[in-house]
Structure 1
Amino acid sequence: MKKVFSFLSIGFLFAVPCLANPYADTINAGLSLPKGFEASKVSDGIGRIRHLLVTPEGVIYARTSRLYKGNGILKMTAQNGDGKIDKVEGFSNYTGTGIALKDGYLYASSDDEVFRYKLNAKNEVIDAEHPEKIITGLWNKRQHESKSIALDNNGNIYVNIGAPSNSCQEVDRGNGSKGRMPCPILDSAGGIWMFKADKLNQSYAQGVRYATGLRNVVGLDWNTQSNSLFVMQHGRDNLLQDWPQYFDAEQSAELPSECMYELKKGDNAGWPYIYYNQILHKKMLAPEYGGDGKTESPRAKDFIEPVVAFPGHLAPNGLLFYTGNMFPEKYRNGAFIAFHGSWNRAPMPQEGYYVVFVPFKNGKPSGKWEVFANGFSGVKVVNATRQAEHRPCGLAQGPDGSLYVSDDNKGTIYRITYSGK
């Protein structure tokens, strides 16, 4: 049975033809935004919201990393006409990250399985207690265990299976520990697997390793212009801690790049054998496999190039291609990325905790990336992750073209609109 709670601290705005957001917070919910944009908090303190979606009817479905009042999926609706959500329904007894809506089904992942729920004509779950289990038995080794998902338009679902390792060392994160060759993790993790979206009880045997050499992907989205999958990889850590003879503190903080990749079937991004240096624009030989921080991998041509390379350790957790009409033309079909924020850039300040935008044209990046929404952390300088009040995680597009950003630290959901004023 669905559990229903009422809260006054959550808000949601239905589409309004005048474009302006009448409920925008006076200081844009603490965020700094480009001119003409406004922000408001549409929820606060409701679980630890990971990924989320908004239905055509304006209902939010959100996943939580911890059970909230016994539930891992929250359905949030507004009924009283003032833009504030006053009804929250919860269901599912498993936590997780991935959630998607496609062809009459709501898809949701735990850390080792993927389920789907049949929807009615109003995109409401028909039977919350009896979902169909479509994928089971995926690796969950308590490191990079979240299973993010995306669906294409040909009946396939793509699942990230993160590597339970930093760089496939003999001793994980061990000082000077060599990398295992070949890396045995890649058989079952460290990549994207493709399954059928409508077939029940699939396991590795029924899936296809679509792309490999990806340490961990939390943000991914299907680009309808290029008809291809784009992903954001979390780059490896501990260059200074494990290899101080090759890297100083500044290099370890800035490297390696957090990379956006466009994936085709059979692609290999190179983890753990290489890392990408966004300063040199080269695929470097990882120190675990004989690198010294200066040597390009002799196998560089075997691995795909990133389409965008960001600074290190920003932790990209959300990726969304914007297809709405509310925002100005420059944002149309471009990519928004939610950076969760770093933890291992010390002694330099931590970085991230913002949403960036990458312009696209014809399915390809067409300009430099820029910070779009900042201020989530609530402090000017973050020296330790615990200082950050909010950490962006998921992204969703509303039926009116507004942008939603989730925070998995305090359970806040932000809504960003454009009025042009």
Structure 2
Amino acid sequence: MKNRSTPLFSAFIAAATLLTFSSCNHDKPATTQEPGVTNDTAKVTAAGLTIPAGFNATIIADNLGGTRHIAVTPEGNIYVKLSNLKDGKGILYLQQGDSTATVKSSFGSYGGTGMAVKNGYLYASSDEEVFRYKLNGQNEVINPNAPEKIVTGLLSRNEHEAKAITLDNAGNLYVNIGAYSNSCQVKDRQKGSMGQPGCPILDSAGGIWQFKADKLNQTYGDGVRYATGLRNVVGLDWNTQDNQLFVMQHGRDQLHYLFPDMYTEQESAVLPAECMYALNKGDNAGWPYIYYDQQKHKKMMMPEYGGDGKKEGDSKYLDPVAAYPGHLAPNGLLFYTGSQFPERYKNGAFIAFHGSWNRAPEPQAGYFVVFQPFKNGKPDGDWEVFADGFSGSAANTAKGSADHRPCGLAQGPDGSIYVTDDVKGTIYKISYKK
């Protein structure tokens, strides 16, 4: 493999020393490999990212603020959501030139995460509401100061508050409402505290809610609790090949800290899995009663609800379709439908892993974008690191002090993909040259 001596490639390796690469085939053992092993000619680009040969990564915008999710119009222009207001605004509109994108306007008096363009509207979310803006024929917002309020009064209690969104092709809007708890303990994140009976949090959070994309001023009562038992979802996308909602769950934290007699520090660093779920209406992924162990390929009972690291969870809960090492924080999910990239990428999934904070005393990990191959609408084979180097160095990765943390993903009209960073507000464009 080329460039083994570069600092970025060292970061590449250090970030994955603990990673178990696994799809959810119960008959197939997990395999462990260095990231990029299938990309024998991986290279470091001028943008500082390590990517497969044939691809190129450029920085098209920088220092924008905490850029979260992103949408690219058919004209190639960009809307990006800011986590916090910058100069009093929370949405940026950028026009692309040959090699850069320039901010042309900003609007929206709220921070947040969600961003999508669909059927002539721009959709954007705060931590409590979802708005939409009418677009003109060039997909520019007509009246940025008068958005329509689509959903209001969503629960936000300063934990897992990001309202990620996506839309299907039948007029429905899907919104994550994260659980305001780690594992539904009576005393959240307190050693030995057991789970609340019946977990009342699930009545209003810990799942995906479905709303009408064109109905104004909806509240919980107007929506449908589409799926439950999901601790927190930031990356989600509608899979047009399956006509199905896919989500990436953030798994629970602190197994060792909360239950040191049951879990070692090393186990707590890699468990439980960050899971990809393919959802149908009424599905229950099992939080807070179970977690998924990607090494055992089993659903396990949570210690707060009688588990001990060995007891299996109830089979009634949904199996993930793919599982990834714990605490990597999947914040972006994108199904690739373009034709620019090689054929093997078509209909596969890109996932932006924001990076861990709670693997100590083990090294922190993540801060990369991975590719998950798909076949016939389902994950097929081991995932691979597609773009790394966001953290800046192996030392940055190990201590969890990344220069950049990937968050949002979008596909452009030419088939390039875009990656946001919510540390310094960088937008990367990754393209392939045949």
Q: Same fold (TM over 0.5)?
A: yes
Tell me whether 1:325 sits opposite 2:343 in the alignment.
no
Distance 1:156 1:135 in 2: 12
Tell me whether 1:34 sits opposite 2:52 in the alignment.
yes
Query: Which amino acid in structure 1 is aligned with residue 95 of structure 2?
Result: T
Cα 1:220–1:86 change in 2 (3 A) is closer
Distance 1:58 1:227 in 2: 25
**Aligned 8 A contact 2:354 2:406 in 1:** yes
Matched ranges for 1:118-197 at <5 A: 118-197=134-213
Partner of 1:384 in structure 2? 399
Distance 2:325 2:231 in 1: 16
Distance 1:134 1:73 in 2: 17
Tell me whether 1:416 sits opposite 2:434 in the alignment.
no
Distance 2:322 2:379 in 1: 8
Partner of 2:352 in structure 1? 338
**Aligned 8 A contact 1:324 1:332 in 2:** yes
| Paired residue secondary structure (2:68) | strand
**Aligned 8 A contact 1:193 1:211 in 2:** yes
| Paired residue secondary structure (1:220) | strand
Unaligned runs of at least 5 residues, structure 1:
1-24
Aligned-pair CA distance for 1:84: 2.5
Aligned-pair CA distance for 1:251: 0.1
**Aligned 8 A contact 2:59 2:100 in 1:** no
**Aligned 8 A contact 1:313 1:345 in 2:** yes
Tell me whether 1:274 sits opposite 2:290 in the alignment.
yes
| Paired residue secondary structure (1:251) | helix
Tell me whether 1:243 sits opposite 2:259 in the alignment.
yes
Deviation per residue, 1:218-264 (Å, 9 max, x gap) = 00000000000000000000101100000011100010000000000
Tell me whether 1:57 sits opposite 2:72 in the alignment.
no
Query: Which amino acid in structure 2 is aligned with residue 339 of structure 1?
Result: F
**Aligned 8 A contact 2:405 2:422 in 1:** yes
Distance 1:266 1:103 in 2: 27
Query: Which amino acid in structure 1 is aligned with residue 72 of structure 2?
Result: V
TM-score computed with the length of structure 1 as normaliser? 0.91
Aligned-pair CA distance for 1:384: 2.7
| Paired residue secondary structure (1:28) | coil
**Aligned 8 A contact 1:232 1:261 in 2:** yes
TM-score computed with the length of structure 2 as normaliser? 0.89
Cα 1:34–1:26 change in 2 (3 A) is closer
Matched ranges for 1:6-405 at <5 A: 27-78=45-96, 82-297=98-313, 299=314, 301-381=315-395, 382-385=397-400, 387-405=401-419
| Paired residue secondary structure (1:173) | coil
Query: Which amino acid in structure 2 is aligned with residue 304 of structure 1?
Result: L
**Aligned 8 A contact 2:44 2:51 in 1:** no
Q: What RMSD, in angstroms, separates the aligned Cα atoms of the two structures? A: 1.1
Deviation per residue, 1:289-332 (Å, 9 max, x gap) = 111111112x2x21010000000000000000000111000000
Aligned-pair CA distance for 1:368: 1.4
Distance 2:311 2:381 in 1: 29
Distance 1:86 1:345 in 2: 38
Aligned-pair CA distance for 1:419: 1.1
Aligned-pair CA distance for 1:82: 4.5
Deviation per residue, 1:63-97 (Å, 9 max, x gap) = 0001111110000013xx54333443100000000
| Paired residue secondary structure (1:383) | helix
Aligned-pair CA distance for 1:363: 1.2
Distance 2:147 2:224 in 1: 23
Distance 1:26 1:157 in 2: 38
**Aligned 8 A contact 2:57 2:431 in 1:** yes
**Aligned 8 A contact 2:127 2:156 in 1:** yes
Aligned-pair CA distance for 1:26: 8.5
| Paired residue secondary structure (2:124) | strand
Across the two proteins, how many residue pairs are aligned to each other? Answer: 391
Distance 1:225 1:349 in 2: 38
| Paired residue secondary structure (1:39) | strand
**Aligned 8 A contact 2:45 2:51 in 1:** no
Distance 1:153 1:254 in 2: 37
Partner of 2:6 in structure 1? none
Aligned-pair CA distance for 1:130: 0.6
- Compare 278-287 and 25-34 and name the one that shifted more: 25-34
| Paired residue secondary structure (1:241) | helix
**Aligned 8 A contact 1:346 1:383 in 2:** no
**Aligned 8 A contact 1:148 1:219 in 2:** yes
Identity %: 65
Deviation per residue, 1:35-87 (Å, 9 max, x gap) = 11110001111111000011011111000001111110000013xx5433344
Distance 1:250 1:107 in 2: 41
**Aligned 8 A contact 1:212 1:267 in 2:** yes
